[in-house]
Amino acid sequence: MIIVLKPEATESQIKHIVSKVKSLGLKPMISRGVERTIIGVIGEEDVLRVQPMEVFPGVEKVMPILAPYKLVSREFKPTDTVVTVDGVRIGGKRLVVMAGPCAVENYETLLSVARSTKKAGAAILRGGAFKPRTSPYSFQGLGEEGLKFLAEVKKRTGQPVITELMDLRDLELMERHADIIQIGARNMQNFDLLKEVGRSKKPVLLKRGMAATIKEWLLSAEYILQNGNFNVILCERGIRTFETETRFTLDMNAVPLIKSLSHLPIVVDPSHGTGRWGLVPSLAKAAVAAGADGLIIEVHPKPEEALSDGPQSMLPEKFARLMVDLKRVAKAVGREL
């Protein structure tokens, strides 16, 4: 349920309402918009029928949220959420591109990729320090050393960094070195992990599970918001279908659908969505045209030698050419890059 306040509602009136909601054993979540402040109420809504909130000073109306995901829904927050990371705004008019190697392999390669992608226009550096791999014999990442490389490269280039968290025990370490915590597809429904990053102050990028429905994906995001962290970015990265010519099937339907259902920003990962670098440019441009707020793309100077996901990694020079094309597409749909 949401309590919509009048434009002239005072801070004392808001505190009074919040205090009453808490006294009823419910959890209030305040969302301050440009024109309105909204208080989302989480818990057993039948309690509010005993104490109607419409009579409180400052309240304009009380509305039920019909969607199963309450805080994530547009019913709760009609305006788009913008997540700000070191001055980079994700969810606004300007598109944000996150680029870098799939895995952090060594400092020199990471720095080289960071410099080339930043020059091309990428605002955020991606790179995996911990790698969830299908085979236990595949490269699993450098761990803490990889995180330190990311932090050091950030000092050199100024790019915020995003990297994946796999284990609750690494959260404190991740908070020290990363700017955005990525929850990967395999952990989309790791609810204990979602609750903990919900208590963190770090922005979270939540990837869609490879067999997850839109509803399941949004409910996973709800776990993060319900625990207090509203700085969540959704990422469509392809789902598993009967098709075998591509690694996954990139669900472009998800972009406009998410925009209609949720206020959270959404980015698209055409690298994992296809598994083939040659298809990345077409799908990246399609994502921008569909309304995505950004892209996350894998780039490597020597894909044939990459320790992870070489076939889907773009060469730096090809990435630079793609960025030029993306600017044209962005302009055509009223966005900037």
pLDDT of residue 172: 94
CATH topology of domain 83-332: TIM Barrel (3.20.20)
Between CA 250 and CA 261, with CA 256 as vertex, the angle to 5 degrees is 115
Classify 277 in phi/psi space as left (phi over 0), alpha (psi -120 to 50) or beta.
alpha
DSSP characters over 69-114: SSTTBTTT--SPP-EEETTEEESSSB-EEEEE-SB---HHHHHHHH
pLDDT of residue 160: 97
- 150: closest CA among 211, 100, 199? 100
- 248: closest CA among 266, 223, 275? 275
Distances (CA, A) of 158 to 76, 83, 152, 215, 324: 35, 18, 10, 36, 22
pLDDT of residue 312: 95
pLDDT of residue 115: 97
| This prediction's pTM | 0.90
Both structure tokens of 133: 């791999």
pLDDT of residue 51: 73
Phi, psi (rounded to 5 degrees) for 142 = -90, -5
pLDDT of residue 69: 92
pLDDT of residue 201: 87
What CA–CA distance (Å, rounded) separates 130 from 165?
7
pLDDT of residue 33: 73
pLDDT of residue 52: 79
- 122: closest CA among 309, 297, 315, 264? 297
Q: Which CATH superfamily is domain 2-63 in?
A: Phospho-2-dehydro-3-deoxyheptonate aldolase; domain 1 (3.30.70.1140)
Tokens 């279908």 map to which residue? 241
What CA–CA distance (Å, rounded) separates 267 from 251?
12
pLDDT of residue 253: 97
pLDDT of residue 131: 79
Domain ranges of the chain: 2-63, 83-332
Between CA 322 and CA 331, with CA 328 as vertex, the angle to 5 degrees is 135
pLDDT of residue 314: 97
- Helix (H), strand (E) at residue 296: strand 294-298
pLDDT per residue of the chain (337 residues) written in tens, 0 to 9? 888 899 889 999 999 999 988 988 888 888 887 777 888 888 776 776 667 788 899 999 888 888 889 899 998 888 899 999 999 999 999 999 999 999 999 999 999 999 999 999 999 999 999 877 778 878 788 899 999 999 999 999 999 999 999 999 999 999 999 999 999 999 999 999 999 999 998 999 999 999 999 999 999 999 999 999 999 999 999 999 999 999 999 999 999 999 999 999 999 999 999 999 999 999 999 999 999 999 999 999 999 999 988 999 999 999 999 999 999 999 999 999 9
Query: Can you state the angle between helices 280-290 and 254-261, rounded to 10 degrees?
Result: 30
Tokens 């839109």 map to which residue? 214
Q: Is residue 269 within 8 Å of 102, Cβ to Cβ? A: no
Rg value, the chain, Cα:
21
What CA–CA distance (Å, rounded) separates 140 from 146?
11
- 207: closest CA among 162, 242, 168, 170? 162
Q: Is residue 202 within 8 Å of 180, Cβ to Cβ? A: yes
Helices (H), the chain: 11-23, 46-50, 107-120, 144-157, 171-177, 191-199, 214-226, 254-261, 270-274, 280-290, 316-332
State how far Cα 243 lies from the chain centre. Answer: 26
Helices (H), 87-199: 107-120, 144-157, 171-177, 191-199
